[in-house]
A and B are shown apart, each in its own frame.
Chain A
Amino acid sequence: MPCTWVMACAYAPSGCAVACGGLDNKCSVYPLSLDKNENLAAKKKSVAMHTNYLSACSFTNSDMQILTSSGDGTCALWDVESGQLLQSFHGHAADVLCLDLAPSETGNTFVSGGCDKKVNVWDMRSGQCIQSFETHESDINSVRYYPSGDAFASGSDDATCRLYDLRADREVAIYSKESIIFGVSSVDFSLSGRLLFGGYNDYTINVWDVLKGTRVSILFGHENRVSTLRVSPDGTAFCTGSWDHTLRIWA
Chain B
Amino acid sequence: MPGPSNIVAMKKVVQQLRFEAGINRVKVSQAAADLQQFCLQNAQQDPLLTGMSSSNNPFRPQKVCSFL
Contact = CB atoms under 8 A, between A and B. Distances in A.
Interface stretch (A5-13, A56-64, A81-89, A166-174): A166-174
B48 A237 contact: yes
For the side of the interface on B, what is the size category?
20 to 34
A192 interface: yes
B23 interface: yes
Interface in A163-210: 165, 167-170, 172, 190-195, 210
Nearest to B38: A148
B56 to A, nearest CB: 8
Interface stretch (A15-23, A34-42, A127-135): A127-135
A238 B49 CA distance: 12
A191 B59 CA distance: 18
A150 B59 contact: no
Interface in B16-53: 16, 19-20, 23, 25-28, 30-32, 34-36, 38-39, 41-43, 45-49, 52
B31 to A, nearest CB: 4
B32 to A, nearest CB: 6
Chain A: interface size category: 20 to 34
- Interface class of chain A by DSSP: loop
B2 interface: no
B45 A167 contact: no
B57 interface: yes
21 contacts: A147-B38, A150-B31, A150-B34, A165-B35, A167-B34, A168-B31, A169-B25, A172-B32, A191-B42, A191-B46, A191-B47, A192-B42, A192-B45, A192-B46, A192-B49, A194-B43, A194-B49, A195-B49, A234-B47, A235-B47, A251-B48
Interface of B: 16, 19-20, 23, 25-28, 30-32, 34-36, 38-39, 41-43, 45-49, 52, 57-59
